[in-house]
Amino acid sequence: MKARAPRPWIVATLVLASSPACDPERAPEAGVTERADCKHVVAGELRGRAQVAVGLSVQLTLALPIAWPTSSEGVMFLAYPSETLPTGMQRTRLRSPSHRIVFAPVNAAPRIEPLGTSTVLGTQDDMAEPVDPALVDRAEQAIVDVVGGCRTAEQATTDVQAYMKWLDHEPVISQDLVQRNRSFIGWLRTVQR
Where exactly are the structural domains of the chain? 8-191
Q: What is the structure's pLDDT at 100?
A: 96
Indicate whether 18 pLDDT > 70: no
**Bridge partner list, 82:** 94
Write the Ramachandran bin of 155: left for phi over 0, alpha for psi from -120 to 50, otherwise beta.
alpha
Q: What is the structure's pLDDT at 17?
A: 39
Least confident of 30-34, 118-122, 141-145: 30-34
Mean pLDDT of the chain: 81
Q: Quote the pTM value.
A: 0.78
Indicate whether 87 pLDDT > 60: yes
